[in-house]
Amino acid sequence: MKKFYITTPIYYVNDEPHIGHTYTTVAADILARWHRLLGERVFFLTGTDEHGMKIFQAAQNASQDTQKYCNEIVVHFKSAWEKMNISYDRFIRTTEKSHISSVKKVLSELHRKDELYFSSYEGLYCIGCEKFLTETDLIDGMCPDHRVKPVVHKEGNYFFKLSGYREKLINAIQNEDDPNHFEILPQGRRNEIIGKLKTGLEDISISRANLPWGILLPFDSKQTTYVWVDALINYISGINYEEDETNFKFWWPTDVHLMAKDILWFHSVIWPAILIAVGLAVPKKIFAHGYFTISGQKMSKSLGNIISPRELIDEFGEDAARFLLMGAFPFGVDGDVTLKNFKLMYNARLANNVGNLVSRVFNMVEKYLGGRIEKPAGWSDEVFKQTRLAVEEIYKKFDELLIDASQEKIIELSDFGNRYIDRQEPWNLSKKTEDTEKLKLVLYNSLMMIKELAAYLYPFIPKTSEKIWFILGEKGKMDEVISSPQEPHFLTGTSLVKPSPLFPRK
């Protein structure tokens, strides 16, 4: 059986989950659900990043023990994902024992293979980013993302010989025959990474001397592991790298690492180099989507312009919140979001399109056919071709990881359903006895289309989809629809359940 291993970044545990984090997580959830529908074995990993200076300081500011502090605030992410109906298979925390032992194993391997050396270093460190910045990164002497002055950091650390991987990485990205080949998507981001690699690559420090909140190096207990190296290793510890070789070998390498562009360098350069160095396979695909801005500005705690997933759920409901985030702008580019645009999209795509289709078809089947579902004797596939074409496109867009485009194709199919009804005018067909067969056919085909829609919408709006399935009285499984995309899918129920509005107008 085919496997599909997908990950989100692990989010800094002290952040309040906002719609940026939610966007990545929902996108990963949609892919996970899609691959489950395809009949694949799926492992979907998400979690929290809990070490490093940023979290240590946050706990100190809250006058709390750091581990206790993490234990208390991790629920913010867990409950946000529960509310968004995120179907992860494992939620990993970097303070878990099994993760810590995986980090130690990787570091011991790097040490044993002579990939590390000790040296002293002086640089400008941004605690918000948990990384070194150069003078040219700064604006008015401050980190452009966090708007704070970086601290001067000077100490003796262990370094990873990253510079030695420059050629290897360029080859691995560009050459499909390279044993370490991996894809960076979208294409534009791949070109940026190659361009940057071509200008040079420096060794990186992988440890800290004066930070108690981190994983101790297995070969020097006076140093802790740099939080980014610690965090990246979650992708292998999440599938039991250290304690269950069979499980690890089944899932590794990752099929898709999903994230925003801000952390692509860590994932497409530092992470593959570490993996190659320890002799592990590299991820297959690394996809970086764009950044949400609010009225043109980066969303951040310090700017106070964060939109939380809670606000969207309260306004639109959990399924619609997922749908609106995914449809906000093309997956892969940046986009600005406003509550006003979310509302417009909600009404246009969900209330007036999908919701309207279900409610009008159900009302007419109730009114003209007493709510009974029966395949008409002379059934003909008059809408079949259109459905097949849409389905082909949906598959194609999913293959290219263009999740928003896939969602849009499904909405187009729903739109086609509405136009089909407008053209066939069942309300007129119901007036003459000689049109009864035609009326039955039009309504049956409309219900068949709704059944297809429910199955294809499942990854995006799972609860609503299941509701549609239920009110259709369906007995089959959605994955039967997905796994035979070229077949007509007749209805298996005999009568409809009266629906409440799926998406009330706003």
Nearer to ligand MSP, 23 or 213 (CB): 23
Measured CA to CA, the distance from residue 282 to residue 41 in angstroms comes to 20
Residue 111 bears catalytic tag: no
Q: Are the C-beta atoms of 323 and 460 separated by less than 8 Å?
A: yes
Contacts of 203 by beta carbon, 8 Å cutoff, 6+ apart:
159, 160, 161, 162, 163
Annotated catalytic residue within 35, 51, 54, 129:
129
Question: Which of the residues 32 through 91 are near ligand MSP (CB under 6 A)?
Answer: 49
d(C-alpha 17, C-alpha 308), whole Å: 7
| Cα 253 from Cα 235, distance rounded (Å) | 9
129 annotated active-site: yes
Residue closer to ligand MSP (CB basis): 109 or 262: 262
* Long-range contacts of residues 345-353, Cβ cutoff 8 Å, at least 24 apart: 346/316, 346/320, 346/503, 346/506, 347/505, 347/506, 349/323, 349/411, 350/320, 350/323, 350/502, 350/503, 351/503, 351/504, 351/505, 351/506, 352/505, 353/411, 353/414, 353/415, 353/418
**Closest residue by beta carbon to ligand MSP:** 20
Minimum distance, C-beta of residue 21 to ligand MSP, in the bound complex (Å) = 5
Catalytic member of 76, 83, 146, 285:
146
- List the one residue from 4, 14, 21, 362 that touches ligand MSP (CB under 6 A): 21
Q: Which is nearer to ligand MSP, 105 or 298 (CB)?
A: 298
The residues near 263 (Cβ < 8 Å, ≥ 6 apart) are: 9
126 has catalytic annotation: yes
**Over the range 285-324, which residues count as b (16 or more CB within 10 Å of their CB) and which as e?**
bbbbbbbbebeeebbbeeeeebbbbbebbeebbbbbbbbb
498 is catalytic: no
Q: CB of 27: closest distance to ligand MSP in angstroms?
A: 9
CA 125 centroid distance within chain: 29
Q: Does 131 bind ligand MSP (CB under 6 A)?
A: no
- Count of residues interacting with ligand MSP (CB under 6 A): 20
From candidates 232, 312, 354, 471, binder to ligand MSP by CB under 6 A: 232
* Per-residue three-class SS string for 299-319: CCCCCCCCCCHHHHHHHHCHH
Q: Which of 149, 198, 301, 375 is catalytic?
A: 301
* Footprint on residues 246-285 left by ligand MSP (CB under 6 A): 259-260, 262-263
Active-site residue, 18 included: yes
Segment (H or E) for 90: strand 90-93
The yes or no reply on residue 23 touching ligand MSP (CB under 6 A) is yes
Q: In this chain, which stretch among 63-71, 182-190, 291-299, 412-420 interacts with ligand MSP, using CB under 6 A? A: 291-299
The Cα 320–Cα 79 span in angstroms is 18
Residue 70 catalytic? Answer: no
Is 301 labeled as catalytic in the residue annotation? Answer: yes
At which residue do the structure tokens 């605030």 appear?
73
**Nearer CB in complex with ligand MSP: 58/369:** 58
- Distance between CA atoms of 429 and 434, rounded to whole angstroms? 9
115 near ligand MSP, judged by CB under 6 A: no
220-225 and 207-208 beta bridge pairing: antiparallel
Asked if 213 touches ligand MSP (CB under 6 A), the answer is no
Q: Is 15 in the site for ligand MSP (CB under 6 A)?
A: yes
Kindly state whether residue 20 participates in binding ligand MSP, applying the rule CB under 6 A: yes
Stretch that binds ligand MSP, among 21-29, 73-81, 171-179, 433-441 (CB under 6 A): 21-29
Among 4, 5, 6, 9, binds ligand MSP (CB under 6 A): 9
Closest approach of ligand MSP to the CB of residue 417, in Å: 32
Residue 398 interacts with ligand MSP (CB under 6 A): yes or no: no
What is the end-to-end Cα distance of the chain in Å, rounded? 44
**Binding-site ranges for ligand MSP (CB under 6 A):** 9-12, 15, 20-21, 23-24, 49, 231-232, 234, 259-260, 262-263, 291-292, 299
Residues with a known catalytic role: 18, 21, 126, 129, 143, 146, 298, 301
